[in-house]
Amino acid sequence: MKNSNCDVNLRKVAVIGCGFVGSASAFALMQSGMFSEMVLIDVDKDRAEGEALDISHGVPLNRPMKIYSGEYKDASDAAIVIITAGAGQKPGETRLELVHKNVGIFKSIIPQINECNFKGILLIVSNPVDILTYTAIKLSGLPENRIIGSGTVLDTARLKYQLGQHLGVDSRSVHAFIIGEHGDSEIAAWSSANVSGIPINSFCEMRGYFNHEEAMIRIADSVKNMAYEIIEKKKATYYGIAMSVKRICEAILRDEKSILPVSSMMHGEYGIENVVLSMPSIVGKDGIETKVPITVNENECTHLMKSANALKEVISELEF
Ligand code: 6V0
């Protein structure tokens, strides 16, 4: 099926980088039934081919779908190209420490996407995701709305999950965001957090919890450090991010206009510009439609500035 823009096949997705994150994302996308064609690309061609073979054996158990390893030209008409290529964090390593290695990898990948005259949405997942989304914007020349970083979609899911567990309530009824950097300077936006419209602290009291300050610090720290904890225990994280990738693709493909905390270029919101970070944004068929300026209190705003400054410092060391 083609859309009005006949260069885009809405049933096709491409995944660049087929390690833990790329293969888990491909697996989640295959099971979602959203696409009928998926191309896997990796510098390690055997790896891409092996993953394509393995995942394609689920076709008779799921639904028809063409899954194969390929080249950049195969991704030219994909509706969404997902980049998960790059080194992952080693135990104890921060996301920002990956920057030079992975910016170098993006400098080899993005020009190959440019050569394809790609008209779809580029979804960046590799870390540090905010810096790499900025890199993709600078190197690709694609309109900014079509370049989305997975941002704090996973961190926000972790926050909702922990709050749901803490309060004994369905985590889908928890409305709360992690904003800013996907990393050590991220911020839990408590001042706008609520459970089905009830301010978070009032809901906590309904459930018999009164020690708000202590609980907020404990939960936000646990969310921030979750990747370190998982990497310490199993060397990598991939299922959570794979499901986040699937969720973002769903919002795009179904033109859901869902509000997701993806990362994108800031243009003066909260006084921040020329840096990519996560804010709740409306996501649909054209990528990011607009950011949603949630209310942040003074303390959250100060931390958001600090997060932006930390990312700007890293950007200032890069050459494009
Ligand atoms: P991995 O298992 O080492 O896989 C990386 C893959 O990238 C390998 O198969 C490589 O061959 C491939 N690769 C390297 N260079 C290139 C290139 N130039 N072109 C194509 N393919 C290439 O790492 P893993 O899958 O665990 O992690 C991938 C990235 O995702 C890392 O940067 C992680 O830090 C990041 N994550 C991002 C998350 C998020 O929330 N945004 C969450 C988890 C991991």
Which domains are delineated in the chain?
9-149 (3.40.50.720), 152-317 (3.90.110.10)
pLDDT at 146: 98
Average pLDDT over the chain, rounded to an integer: 96
Q: What is the pLDDT of residues 5-27, one digit of tens each?
A: 568 999 999 999 999 999 999 99
pTM of the model: 0.97
pLDDT at 6: 60
21: CA distance to ligand 1 center in Å?
Answer: 6
pLDDT at 52 over 50: yes
What is the pLDDT confidence band of residue 184, given thresholds at 50, 70 and 90? very high
Q: Which atom of ligand 1 is nearest to the CA of 149?
A: 41
206: CA distance to ligand 1 center in Å?
Answer: 43
105 lines ligand 1 (CB under 6 A): yes
217: CA distance to ligand 1 center in Å?
Answer: 31
Q: Which atom of ligand 1 is nearest to the CA of 105?
A: 18
Q: What is the pLDDT of residues 233-272, one digit of tens each?
A: 999 999 999 999 999 999 999 999 999 999 999 999 999 9
The interface predicted TM-score (ipTM) is: 0.99
84: CA distance to ligand 1 center in Å?
Answer: 5
pLDDT at 4 over 70: no
Annotated binding site for substrate: 89, 95, 127-130, 155-158, 237
Q: Which atom of ligand 1 is nearest to the CA of 102?
A: 32
Residue to mutate (ligand 1; options 16, 25, 39, 43; most atoms within 8 A of CB): 43
Q: What is the average pLDDT across 115-120?
A: 95
Closest CA to 44 of 74, 77, 78, 16: 16
Q: What is the pLDDT of residues 26-46, one digit of tens each?
A: 999 999 999 999 999 999 999
3-class DSSP state of 52: helix
Q: Beta strands 121-124 and 178-179: pairing type?
A: unpaired
Q: If 0-12 CB within 10 Å is exposed, 13-18 middle and 19+ buried, where does residue 64 land?
A: exposed
pLDDT at 1: 46
Residue to mutate (ligand 1; options 94, 125, 226, 234; most atoms within 8 A of CB): 125
Annotated binding site: 17-22, 42, 47, 72, 86-87, 89, 95, 102, 108, 125-130, 150, 155-158, 160, 175, 237
Whole-number Cα distances in Å, 255 to 36, 87, 285: 18, 32, 5
pLDDT at 93: 85
**Cα-only R_g, the chain:** 19
